[in-house]
């Protein structure tokens, strides 16, 4: 039985979450707390396996509470975040300092009980409860590029860069990307495209956060946008992102085709599109995440003379997506997250 502590200042939210969780006979809510202070008092008494933690609370907010939990315990924490710019930024901060995953709160509180949220919450609780260790706070130094960003005028991509790097990730991805993308030099002989499973708004905050940390320019991808050297494009939440070749230029295509296995965007859609590109070298990486998204796409890249990388289990928050890709036989090299940037740089050149 998985024991869960719910921490939220809203009595209604606590009740809804409790009802959702206890629909599954493998999970039991063993306690509730109205704020972080109360939660910290209850944790040693209740000894939960998983904690759901609201981001914004009075007395002691979610970020402060999370830091204290990290100092004292090794308990996986799932954040509950409002769908606001502030909520997204705070959630990314929580993921950066040690939260394992998050669930977005719909604007209409009663939508929390929707089938998609129910399934998502229960699945995440079950997955994170099995984690053997929780990766703690990682320090990120704010050493961003100067205010005058490197601007590369897009012409024929064949003259501007020789490679495209496609990256796919899910649970644990924001932390992994913050360890990978800031190591990429601005003059890299490539353009970079990423799918991170996140809802709308959160992907924009992630792109902005990575941009402040990195030498390359990081942004959400826009439909019809020409891919440039030294740029990193993140698929916006709730859109599939693919890459197409038009007049010897690589462009982003966004669409609202149906979710695949409940996912939009999907890593598979991005990587399958990259596999079809002809006049460019292809490098693909699958990072930490639940499930198997990306396995089909990275197989296609491998079949089409691409070079493939998977994150090693030792640094994954959840060893699902990389494990699936490795088992499929599509992976050329398996590396810890701190070695993947060097491998990409060596493969594409400066």
Catalytic residues: 170, 197, 293
Contact 216, 161 (CB under 8 A): no
Q: Which residue in 255, 256, 178, 248 sits closest to 218, CA to CA?
A: 178
For 296, the token pair is: 């089909």
* 82, β-bridge pairs: 105
- Distance CA(39)–CA(26), nearest Å, equals 23
């Amino acid at each position: 039985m998985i024991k869960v502590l719910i921490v939220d200042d809203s009595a209604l939210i606590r009740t809804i979450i409790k009802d959702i969780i206890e629909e599954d006979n493998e999970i039991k809510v063993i306690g509730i707390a109205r704020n972080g202070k109360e939660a910290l008092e209850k944790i040693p008494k209740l000894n939960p396996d998983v904690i759901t933690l609201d981001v914004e609370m009075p007395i002691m907010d979610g970020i402060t509470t999370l830091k204290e939990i990290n100092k004292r315990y090794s308990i996986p924490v799932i954040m509950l975040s409002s769908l606001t710019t502030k909520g997204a930024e705070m959630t990314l901060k929580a993921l950066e300092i040690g939260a394992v995953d998050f669930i977005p709160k719909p604007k209409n509180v009663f939508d929390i009980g929707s089938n998609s949220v129910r399934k998502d919450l229960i699945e995440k609780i079950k997955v994170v409860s099995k984690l053997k260790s929780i990766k703690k706070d990682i320090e990120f130094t704010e050493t961003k590029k100067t205010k005058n960003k490197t601007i590369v005028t897009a012409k024929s991509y064949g003259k501007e860069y020789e490679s495209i790097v496609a990256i796919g990730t899910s649970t644990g991805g924001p932390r992994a990307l913050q360890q990978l993308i800031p190591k990429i030099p601005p003059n890299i002989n490539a353009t970079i495209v990423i799918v991170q499973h996140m809802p709308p708004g959160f992907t924009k905050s992630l792109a902005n956060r990575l941009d402040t940390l990195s030498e390359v320019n990081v942004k959400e991808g826009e439909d019809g946008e020409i891919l440039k050297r030294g740029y990193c494009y993140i698929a916006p939440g709730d859109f599939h992102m693919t890459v197409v070749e038009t007049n010897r230029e690589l462009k982003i295509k966004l669409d609202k085709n149906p979710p695949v296995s409940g996912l939009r965007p999907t890593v598979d859609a991005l990587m399958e599109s990259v596999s079809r590109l002809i006049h460019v070298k292809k490098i693909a990486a699958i990072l930490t995440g639940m499930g198997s998204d990306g396995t089909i796409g990275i197989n296609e890249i491998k079949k089409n003379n691409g070079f493939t990388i998977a994150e090693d289990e030792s640094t994954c928050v959840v060893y699902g997506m990389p494990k699936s890709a490795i088992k499929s036989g599509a992976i050329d090299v398996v590396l810890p997250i701190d070695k993947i940037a060097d491998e990409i740089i060596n493969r594409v050149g400066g």
